[in-house]
Structure 1
Amino acid sequence: MNFTKNTTVFDKMVFPKKPNYEYVGEYFASKVAESSIKIANPNTGDDIERMNVIISNYIATQQLEKTTRKLTAKRNAYQQKRKCVLEMWKDLQVKEESFRQNFIRFNQFVKENQEKKERAANKIMEQNSLKQERERKMNALLEICEQIKKVKAKMDANIGRYRIYEEFLMEVVDYDSSMQSINDLLKRYDALIEARKELNDIQQRDLNKLEKAKSNLMKLIEEKNFIIMGLNNQIANLQARYENANIKALESETLVTQIKNNAVKQMAEIDMVKNSIWNVYVHMAASKKHPIKIKKEKVEEQIMYLNRTLTELAKINRMIKKKVVKGR
């Protein structure tokens, strides 16, 4: 912080950090101290009374100048002390920053040291595990070597025992001029084995194809059987429906025959009734000596004529009965 020559004490304000009620006692104490301070004592200077106003003013002016010089000296001393304090403060800030950087570097150094320590520990553990793994592999290889040695010894023992087969193979090679050595015989044997294997593979493929074709044929037969069963069910249903239709047709034909017979009977009865009505009409018309004007097909008019005639006969009968009753 840079200060100029015009800088005063009050440029930097300091605000209290404690609650206000804690400063009440200090406030009253400062008031008491302020009242006890004597800025200019008129009786200073060899304790001589000075009643003259000019002398009193002169003395007060001298006292004010003296106090001003003291205040200036105090201010200069304060500025010097403030500069010292600021320089010390800057030095402390530099030291603080240096200490902070050193602390950060120390923390980083500790962290790096811890990481290096952990990496070293991990590397040691990896080396130990790798060492154990290699020792285990070495032991396994040693066991395999021991087994190979045992197998070699066993094979050496078997070679001497199987020498007779080698001699037999040499005799076979000598017998067959197409083979020059045992390797040719073994190659031919391998070729025959490969041919046999290939033939077996071909046979197996053919068998697989046959099995697949058989399974497909069985599936096809099964599907066709299901279709045939469905068709048989449909035929059975259609046959049942046909039989039911035949039965209903026979019933309908019987009913139609009965209706026709009943209709024939009713028509015969109607014809008989019509003939009877016609005969009665003709008889009544002849009895009444009326001409036959109504045709034979007009049955309703004939019935109306018969009704009128019967009505007239009923009236005549009532009149006759009345006359008979009166004559008695």
Structure 2
Amino acid sequence: MATVQEEIKNFVQRATITTNSQEAVTEYFLSKQQDRNIKKYPEWDKPRVYPALEVVRAHSEDIFFSCYMNDVRDRMRKHVAEYKKYQDYLDMVIIETGEFNSISEIFNRYETLIEARSILSEHQDKNLELLEEKGTEMHHMTESKSQKIMTLNNKLAQLQARRDRAEVQARKWETIVAEIKVIAAEKNLEHTQVKTCCWNLYQQICKRKEIPVTVSKDDVEQQLDYIKRTILELKRIMKVAKKHATK
């Protein structure tokens, strides 16, 4: 019995309990893995359980759990301290803006804005797709209209060439018409002069014959006919006079 107690005492002295939480967690999981790998013996072959060993094991588990909880507490405090500035900032936003009554309302507004941004992004994507389609249509339309414009420009060049030729012909005929007008004016002047001469000659003949003027001033044909008959009469008279003169 004394030998067993001495072994237990030595076992207790050899047990080393770590105070590092990370090492404690690692040691805990390693011990669990070792427990799974330990070969299980029959009930009659299991070593005797000593109360002191159970006390040490329970104490070790309590220390491990305490270290684990302390580590969790420290990490929670670290997270709380890290995010405390954000909570203070949100509280300041609530106080200064006066638009919100709690931080949850800010989060609700944020979620609403995120949803609105998502909807606007979808609309923007649709509008961009529509704009791209319209751009493609406009590109095709521009190419088609460019071809039509080139065709119309060719026709316009042909029409301009025809117009230039027509202008040349028009200037040519305008020159001819101007010359004709000049000639017509000259002929008209000559005609007027001839008419005046005929009228004067007719009047002189009538005056010498002492007969009244019966032909109208504008009836040039009758005047010329009368002048012709008078000239023929004068020729016959001159012919008769020459015959008498020769006798």
Normalised TM-score (structure 1):
0.32
Structure with higher RCO (Cα < 8 A, 6+ apart): 2
- State which structure, 1 or 2, has the greater radius of gyration over its C-alpha atoms: 1
